[in-house]
């Protein structure tokens, strides 16, 4: 019973991480580093709240979040793929832009610099059989939790079992080889980054729909945790999702231990420390796609 509730809490926490981390995997497998996750998520959360606020429907909110997420990712792709600007700087710029623009929107729409009005969440489904099980019934009744579980499988299939996935991985490893085959590196990289935007935007929608509102800086570094999880998961959607579940469990434990004598703040640092150990090669070797972070310039021959 306690174990089930704990598991459900860990999954709930890891849902936005997993969505964003899978997005980052798609972007980086195509060769574009996506530090912009944090900003895309934040903008997506605001998108959800605005959509739900003006329409009264959570589903419209989700649609708006997807749209806003894709728009932010498009900016990142435009700067890094089309203009071949530095990907890390662009990502940080997008994050600053999202932080400022969402605050500006809060002031303009809700006349508050800290939070929005309360908006509707998403409907909760009552699944037969499961509804009575403590923890699991609530958990699996949430449409976005179910969608995330399905997406882990779908994104994995897309990356490793589809033509687009093969081409995406080729542009991330050897863009010049992909170009030689007549593929457009620009288009394929745009595709990876835009899919990343959709997933990170959905992550923002989940956060906002659970909280029924937007608060200033509400992602609170989750985009960076997702990025870390993607690295620990070795640029694989399933690996990334598993790392997210681990990070989610650490966070759920930390919430349980809050107020006790146990230094829960140090548990909070655990995901970051694990990531550093993985990067240093202490826990298996994490190897990024060969052309990750390198702009493709066809004139550079």
Build a one-symbol-per-residue string for 57-86: x at contacts with other proteins by CB under 8 A, - elsewhere.
------------------x---x---xxxx
Pick 96 or 131: Cβ nearer other proteins: 96
Q: Which residue stretch of 87-95, 117-125, 126-134, 156-164 sits at the interface with other proteins (rule: CB under 8 A)? A: 87-95
Q: What angle do CA 162, 164, 170 make, to 5 degrees?
A: 105
CB neighbour list of residue 150: distance below 8 Å, 6 or more residues apart:
none
Total residues belonging to the chain: 301
Least spacing, CB of residue 4 vs other proteins, in Å: 29
Looking at 5, 60, 71, 97, which residue binds other proteins (CB under 8 A)?
97
| Residue 101 interacting with other proteins (CB under 8 A) | yes
User: Would you give the distance in Å from CA 94 to the centre of its chain?
Assistant: 14
Please give the Cα distance from 248 to 242 (Å, whole number): 10
| 154 touching other proteins, by CB under 8 A | no
Instruction: Identify whether the C-beta of residue 205 lies closer than 8 Å to the C-beta of residue 44.
Output: yes
Q: Which is nearer to other proteins, 149 or 288 (CB)?
A: 288
On the 0-12 / 13-18 / 19+ scale of CB atoms within 10 A, 216 is middle
Stretch that binds other proteins, among 44-52, 93-101, 147-155, 167-175 (CB under 8 A): 93-101
| Cβ distance to other proteins smaller for residue 188 or 251 | 251
- Asked whether the beta carbons of 32 and 271 are under 8 A apart, the reply is no
Q: How many angstroms from the chain centroid is the CA of residue 250?
A: 18
Backbone angles phi, psi at 191, to 5 degrees: -60, -50
Is residue 25 part of the contact set for other proteins (CB under 8 A)?
A: no
Angle between helices 163-173 and 2-29 in degrees, nearest 10: 70
Q: Nearest to residue 7, comparing CAs of 237, 252, 206? A: 252
CB-based contacts of 198: which residues, under 8 Å, 6+ apart? 23, 66, 69, 70, 73
Indicate whether 283 belongs to the interface with other proteins (CB under 8 A). no
- C-beta of 179: minimal distance to other proteins in Å? 19
Distance of closest approach, residue 92 Cβ to other proteins, in angstroms: 6
List the interface residues with other proteins, window 216-275 (CB under 8 A): 221, 224, 227-228, 231, 263, 265-266, 268-269, 272-273, 275
What is the C-alpha separation between 89 and 155, in angstroms, rounded?
27
- State the nearest-atom distance from the C-beta of 93 to other proteins, in Å: 4
Selected range binding other proteins among 44-52, 94-102, 159-167, 189-197, rule: CB under 8 A: 94-102
Residues in the site for other proteins, rule: CB under 8 A?
35, 75, 79, 83-86, 88-90, 92-97, 99-101, 103-104, 107-108, 113, 221, 224, 227-228, 231, 263, 265-266, 268-269, 272-273, 275-276, 279-281, 288
């Amino acid at each position: 019973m306690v174990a089930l509730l704990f598991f459900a809490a860990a999954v709930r926490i890891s849902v936005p991480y997993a969505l964003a981390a899978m997005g980052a995997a798609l972007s980086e497998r195509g060769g574009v580093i996506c530090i912009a996750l944090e900003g895309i998520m934040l903008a997506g959360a605001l998108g959800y709240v605005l959509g739900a606020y003006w329409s009264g429907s959570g589903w419209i909110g989700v649609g708006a979040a997807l749209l806003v997420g894709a728009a932010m990712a498009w900016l990142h792709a435009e700067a890094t793929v089309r203009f071949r600007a530095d990907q890390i700087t662009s990502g940080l710029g997008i994050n600053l832009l999202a932080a400022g623009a969402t605050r500006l929107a809060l002031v303009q729409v809700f006349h508050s610099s800290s939070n929005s009005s309360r908006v509707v969440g998403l409907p909760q489904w009552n699944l037969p059989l499961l509804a009575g099980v403590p923890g699991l019934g609530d958990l699996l009744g949430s449409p976005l939790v179910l969608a995330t579980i399905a997406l882990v499988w779908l994104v994995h299939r897309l990356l490793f079992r589809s033509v687009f996935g093969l081409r995406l991985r080729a542009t991330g490893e050897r863009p010049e080889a992909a170009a030689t085959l007549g593929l457009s590196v620009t288009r394929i990289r745009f595709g990876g980054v835009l899919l990343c935007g959709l997933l990170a935007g959905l992550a923002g929608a989940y956060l906002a729909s659970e909280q029924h509102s937007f608060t200033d800086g509400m992602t609170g570094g989750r985009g960076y945790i997702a990025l870390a999880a993607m690295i620990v998961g070795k640029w694989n959607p399933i690996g990334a999702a598993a790392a997210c579940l681990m990070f989610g469990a650490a966070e759920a434990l930390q919430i349980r231990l809050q107020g006790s004598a146990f230094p829960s703040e140090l548990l909070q640092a655990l995901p970051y420390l694990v990531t550093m150990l993985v990067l240093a090669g202490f826990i298996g070797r994490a190897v990024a796609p060969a052309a990750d972070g390198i702009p493709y310039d066809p004139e550079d021959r």
